[in-house]
């Protein structure tokens, strides 16, 4: 039986997507720039003139942000953020803001191995900062301690996986969808490395919900649907609370259910 | 400028000499303009990237099981990263916590030594770093910023910090990070251990316009003209001003509006009915690719309290 509380924790996050997908964290501080109408209009503004202005202004700034990204990434980030203020649903602007993020925090998994030269290469220099760090173990485990070490190791791993899941959920709440996916990826790798059983299923469910929510927010509906399909494989009767979950997520879950033939 | 606009402008120069038209019942007209940049914003020339590494091996990184302390992970992650930095990229490496044991020390510059001339030599040096002293991460970043400013290499710099975010020597990490970001520097913190990142990290950079944003197109002047009903159809000026949305009283009848954009825009002819208010909305984005200029007008009865819909 799955841990319902853990699953519900994930559902709360799913519900939060309703607001987060439409409103970036920065939108809280969307002030008009010099010369712009105040308060800053948005695409879809009730005034057709201002709505059209917001649409064209977002396009103009997006062109500018793209042009300066290679030479002034931080300035481009600010412009992308402003585009998101004008048009919170602009996926390209969201990608641009992530691409040009001026401050990132990486938390690579530290693994202890037999040698320190075995780090998996990552062709992307900056993404490699998230790759696991392998350091050589200096002290061999005492003889006969294998089983205890195994049990302790599993406990440590579960603790680490829980931290990753909590971090991914926090990132999701902060609308940092790509970071949430990266952190969830670590949790997925951690889960895959453990033998099945124990309390893995509830963690797997949390993981799938985080990924489904983040993928849906990023507009990758197929990936989100695949996550929901895995949720249904774990818990065929799984449902989301329609009163607190975005209609988009509800639709994706229903689509996954129709595909997998899982019972409601 | 179109021939029609040229002719109109030339004719308007003489408009002051034209006799005013016979009195007609009044109408009102207003022009509201929203615009984008007046011209395309400049794009800074690309510069070669510079990467600065700061490897924290202060005492707090001794935490961890024997043989797997955090400083080992920090120096391993740093040495792996620096060997991946492209050879043509300028690279600086500093270590924090390798100085004297007393007090809080500045970071030690590792690049520049004879053994550290090659990336492999530098990586070997980083891999052998041992915690010895203390130092403030915030101060180290502030000092690094000062050095980059002095060498004129702030722009296009990226700073990577390998740390456990220990704060034994204090300092304001948020301010140090914010100053660097304000200068256009991108920051990557590779955090070893469970220390939470400062809450301010999620708020950086502060949402504000880039320095010296290009001005938006100012509201142009406009002229409202009518044409002499005679065979020459000479234009005469009815009203002029700034297109700021102010309602202006003009005689009813056919009019043309000349907006002082470059090139000028002619709107009309419109027929202003007596007792009505005509509101013209213009959207002007000359710096957009392709440029956009659109307008539309609406007419409302001039009843008391009548207002344009927002």
Residues B24-67: pLDDT tens digits?
Answer: 568 999 998 889 998 888 888 878 889 999 999 998 898 887 77
Q: Which residue of A has its CA nearest to B85?
A: A125
A145 and chain B in contact, CB less than 8 A:
no
Asked if B55 and B129 count as a contact pair (C-beta separation under 8 A), the reply is yes
Q: Which residue of A has its CA nearest to B198?
A: A105
**Sheet of strand B248-251: strand arrangement:** B248-251, B26-35, B276-285, B292-301
Alpha-carbon gap, residue B222 to B237, rounded angstroms: 11
Listed in sequence order, the residues at least 6 apart from A205 whose beta carbon sits closer than 8 Å to its beta carbon are A2, A3, A6, A7, A10, A231, A234, A235, A238
- Name the closest residue on chain B to residue A41, using Cα atoms: B34
How far B289 CA lies from chain A's nearest CA (Å)?
8
Residue B214: CB atoms within 10 Å: 17
> Considering Cα of B230, then B233, then B234, then B237, what sign does the dihedral take?
positive
The 8-class DSSP code of residue A128 comes to G
The whole-number pLDDT of residue A87 equals 95
Q: Residues B220-279: pLDDT tens digits? A: 888 999 887 777 778 889 888 888 888 999 989 899 999 888 778 888 888 999 999 999
Residues within 8 A of A (CB atoms), B 197-256 only: 197, 201-202, 204-205, 207-211, 213, 215-216
Whole-number Å distance between alpha carbons of A96 and A90: 10
User: By three-state DSSP, how is residue B44 classified?
Assistant: coil
Say whether pLDDT at A153 is over 80. Answer: no
Distance linking the first and last C-alpha atoms of chain A: 17
The token pair at B269 is 């002819």
Q: What is the pLDDT of residue A168?
A: 85
Which of A101, A133, A134, A142 would you mutate first to test chain B, the one with the most B CBs within 10 A? A133
Q: For the CA atoms of chain A, what is the radius of gyration?
A: 22
ipTM: 0.80
Q: Pairing relation of β-strands B50-56 and B90-96?
A: parallel
Q: Is the pLDDT of residue A100 over 50?
A: yes
Q: Residues 6 or more apart from A28 whose CB is under 8 A from it?
A: none
Among the residue ranges A3-17, A52-66, B50-64, the one predicted with the least confidence is: A3-17
- Statement: residue A17 has pLDDT above 50: no
Whether the full predicted model's pTM is greater than 0.80, yes or no, is no
- Which of these, A105, A223, A245, A235, lies nearest to A170 by C-alpha position? A105
Which of A70, A103, A108 faces B177 most closely, judged by CB atoms?
A: A103
Indicate the SS3 state at residue B109: strand
Residue B217 confidence (pLDDT): 84
Please indicate whether, in this complex, the C-beta atoms of B160 and A53 are within 8 angstroms of each other.
no
Provide, as residue numbers in chain B, all residues whose Cβ is less than 8 Å from the Cβ of A34.
209, 213, 215-216
Nearest to A81 among B40, B188, B207 (CB): B207
How is residue A100 written in tokens? Answer: 């040009």
Picking from A33, A71, A101, the nearest residue to B209 by CB comes out as A33
pLDDT tens digit string along A228-256?
888 887 777 777 766 567 778 888 888 88
């Amino acid at each position: 039986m799955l841990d319902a509380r853990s699953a519900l924790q994930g559902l709360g996050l799913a519900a939060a997507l309703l607001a987060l997908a439409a409103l970036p964290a920065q939108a809280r501080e969307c002030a008009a720039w010099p010369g712009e109408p105040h308060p800053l209009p948005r695409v879809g503004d009730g005034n057709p003139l201002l709505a059209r202005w917001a649409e064209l202004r977002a396009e103009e700034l997006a062109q500018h942000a793209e042009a300066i990204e290679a030479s002034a990434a931080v300035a481009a980030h600010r412009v992308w953020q402003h585009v998101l203020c004008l048009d919170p649903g602009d996926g390209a602007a969201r990608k641009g803001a992530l691409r040009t993020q001026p401050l990132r925090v990486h938390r690579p998994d530290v693994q202890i191995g037999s040698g320190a030269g075995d780090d998996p290469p990552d062709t992307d220099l900056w993404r490699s900062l998230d790759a696991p760090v392998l350091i050589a173990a200096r002290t061999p485990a005492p003889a006969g301690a294998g089983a205890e070490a195994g049990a302790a190791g599993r406990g440590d791993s579960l603790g680490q996986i829980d931290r990753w899941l909590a971090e991914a959920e926090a990132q999701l709440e902060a609308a940092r969808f790509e970071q949430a996916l990266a952190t969830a990826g670590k949790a997925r790798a951690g889960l895959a490395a453990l033998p099945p059983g124990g309390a893995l299923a509830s963690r797997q469910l949390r993981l799938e919900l985080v990924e489904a929510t983040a993928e849906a927010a990023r507009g990758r509906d197929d990936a989100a649907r695949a996550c929901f399909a895995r949720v249904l494989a774990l818990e065929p009767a799984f449902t989301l609370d329609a009163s607190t979950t975005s209609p988009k997520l509800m639709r994706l879950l229903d689509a996954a259910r129709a595909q997998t033939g899982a019972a409601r | 400028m179109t021939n029609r606009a040229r002719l109109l402008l030339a004719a308007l120069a003489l408009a002051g000499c034209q006799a005013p038209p016979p009195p007609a019942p009044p109408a009102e007209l207003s022009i509201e303009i929203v615009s984008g940049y007046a011209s395309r914003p400049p794009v800074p020339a690309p510069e070669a990237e510079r990467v600065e590494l700061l490897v924290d091996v202060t005492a707090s990184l001794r935490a961890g099981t024997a043989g797997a302390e955090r400083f080992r992970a920090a120096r391993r992650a740093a040495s792996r990263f620096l060997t991946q930095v492209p050879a043509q990229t300028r690279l600086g490496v500093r270590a924090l916590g390798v100085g004297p044991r007393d007090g809080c020390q500045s970071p030690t510059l590792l690049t520049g030594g004879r053994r550290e001339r090659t990336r492999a030599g530098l990586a070997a040096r980083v891999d052998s770093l041992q915690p010895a002293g203390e130092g403030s991460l915030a101060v180290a970043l502030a000092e690094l910023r000062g050095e980059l400013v002095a060498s004129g290499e702030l722009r296009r710099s990226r700073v990577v910090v390998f740390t456990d975010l220990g704060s034994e020597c204090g300092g304001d990490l948020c301010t140090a990070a914010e100053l660097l970001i304000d200068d256009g520097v991108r920051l990557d913190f590779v955090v070893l251990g469970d220390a939470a990142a400062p809450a301010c990290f999620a708020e950086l950079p502060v949402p504000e316009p880039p320095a010296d944003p290009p001005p938006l197109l100012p509201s142009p002047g406009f002229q409202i003209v009518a044409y002499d009903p005679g065979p020459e159809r000479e234009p005469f000026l009815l009203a002029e001003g700034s297109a700021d949305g102010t309602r202006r009283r003009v005689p009813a009848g056919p009019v043309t509006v000349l907006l002082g954009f470059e090139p000028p825009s002619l709107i009309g002819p419109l027929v202003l009915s007596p007792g009505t208010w005509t509101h013209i909305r213009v959207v002007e984005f000359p710096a957009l690719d392709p440029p956009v200029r659109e307008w539309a007008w609406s007419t409302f009865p001039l009843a008391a309290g009548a207002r344009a819909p927002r």
